Amino acid sequence: MCMETLDEIGPSLPRVAREAIQAWLAGHGGQPVPSSAGPAAPVFVTLRSPDGMLRGCIGTLRATQPNVVMETARSAVLAASEDPRFAPVHRKEFDGLGIEVSVLMPEEPVSGLDELDPAQYGVVVRDDAGRHGVLLPAIEGIDDAATQVSIACRKAHIAQDAAVHLARFKIRKFVG
């Protein structure tokens, strides 16, 4: 049995996400996934309304599923149904949603803002109380590392002046 690489399977991930959300909207459980469904990897699924505005985004920093296809399906349903910032997606709006699947590459600890570039790297902030915030790279309107870290801290309910540990990561983004 040969496992597909991310290069091979990545372009199909937005379709996997769309089919998983469609199955959820129809009241069906998860769909069967082939055993050769790519490597295990953490994934964020971002949903966008037709005007490009954020409609949902959920993912993990560590893979929770045996492969990237299952991880994508799981995160897609959660982005459509559980993002606390938005009401669950409705059938009427489903066809117009844009879907982005961001597969995270391994984290790298960094010592300061000078090692971050929000166009190239996502950021993870962690405090000593165990809270953490994540922001994906290349988000429109986030042009500097200080803003990127500030938003990640706010998302995690970490005080702006708190001591935090920083890590960066790259992504492979697939849009559909």
Q: How many Å is the Cα radius of gyration of the chain?
A: 16
Quick: pLDDT tens for 77-114.
999 999 999 999 999 999 999 999 999 999 999 999 99
What DSSP state is assigned to residue 159? -
Q: How far apart are CA 28 and CA 41, in angstroms?
A: 25
Identify the burial level of 171 via C-beta atoms within 10 angstroms of its C-beta, where 0-12 means exposed, 13-18 middle and 19 or more buried: buried
SS (H, E, C) 27-58: CCCCCCCCCCCCCCCCEEEEEECCCCCEEEEE
Which strand ranges, in their side-by-side order, compose the sheet holding 165-169? 108-110, 165-169, 122-126, 132-135
Quick: pLDDT tens for 155-164.
999 998 999 9
pLDDT band per the 50, 70, 90 thresholds, residue 1: very low
Give the pTM: 0.91
CATH architecture of 108-171: 2-Layer Sandwich (3.30)
Q: Which CATH superfamily is domain 6-104 in?
A: Hypothetical protein ph0010; domain 1 (3.30.700.20)
Do the domains 6-104 and 108-171 sit in the same CATH topology, yes or no? Answer: no
pLDDT at 158: 96
Q: How far apart are CA 80 and CA 77, in angstroms?
A: 5
Quick: pLDDT tens for 8-53.
899 999 999 999 999 999 987 655 555 557 889 999 999 999 999 9
Beta strands in 88-170 (DSSP E): 98-104, 108-110, 122-126, 132-135, 165-169
What residue spans define the domains of the chain? Answer: 6-104, 108-171
